[in-house]
Amino acid sequence: MVVGTGMMAKRFSAFDQRDDVIIFASGVSNSKEKDTNAYDREINLLNNTISRMRTDQLFVYFSTTSIYDPSVNDSMYILHKHHVEHFIREQCRRFMIFRVSNVVGPGSNPRTVFSFFVNAIQNEIPFEVWQYSERNLIDIDDVYNLVCHFIGLKEVENAMLNLAYPSNVSVPEMVEAIAGSLKKLPKASFLSMGSAYKIEPLHEDLIAYFTLPAREYLQQLLCKYL
């Protein structure tokens, strides 16, 4: 069973044919959301879904690695994610919570950093780049493959797992690579600001899964989705 209609839900549509796993891929997608009604809707849907679960079903939820970013740890979005994670741990007999980094895929959320830069460069919109910032990008197909792998591992059940590429990419490098792929000159203003944060720990199976260096992985994403 899959709950949701967005990019993540569509990629996991094969689970619609499975009765043993519930993929909850619905909820607040805008990390800057300040409308409490949006968060209440997710909580209500979450509560209704879990209340109808059988005890033998596995509940899968997608949280965010932004939880590790100290610059946003008091935002409504992050506080909400903490609340949801706690709720699932308390209410579900069997669960997996995946904290996912910046997912790139077909029809990506326009509010993600990757989509923002693609749109700005493609449409020649001026934007600012924080020179010392880093982001972690991960292909939605890799998210799918890894989730399928971990669902089959009983030893990681009832746990939270980070799903992220093993290394970040600098934001200036990302902008340069996107601009090169689009063959456009970005109207970017570079500011001496920003910071990076690590996503850890990463499961050894995830580390073994990725074989490309970070720069090649970025180029692979650009070739695939641009």
Q: For 117-136, write each residue's pLDDT tens digit.
A: 999 999 999 999 999 999 99
Burial annotation 44-53 (CB, 10 A radius, 16+ → b, else e): eebeeebeeb
Kindly report the pTM of this predicted structure. Answer: 0.95
Residue 74 burial (CB < 10 Å; 0-12/13-18/19+)? exposed
- Provide φ and ψ at 28, rounded to 5°: -75, 120
Residue 108, pLDDT > 80, answer no
Q: Are 171 and 135 in contact (CB under 8 A)?
A: yes
- Which value, to the nearest 10 degrees, does the dihedral of the CA atoms of residues 103, 49, 146, 166 take? 50
The type of residue at 113 is V
Mean per-residue pLDDT, 33-54: 96
* pLDDT range class, residue 149, cuts 50, 70, 90: very high
CATH architecture of the domain formed by 2-225: 3-Layer(aba) Sandwich (3.40)
Distances (CA, A) of 22 to 2, 61, 92, 95: 6, 9, 11, 9
CA dist 22 and 19 (Å) reads 8
For the stretch 177-207, pLDDT in tens is 999 999 999 999 999 999 899 999 999 999 9
Mean per-residue pLDDT, 19-31: 94
* pLDDT range class, residue 89, cuts 50, 70, 90: very high
Give pLDDT, residue 104. Answer: 96
Give pLDDT, residue 109. Answer: 79
**Stronger pLDDT, 73 or 95, i.e. the higher one:** 95
Which tokens is 20 given? 């043993």
Mean per-residue pLDDT, 67-75: 93
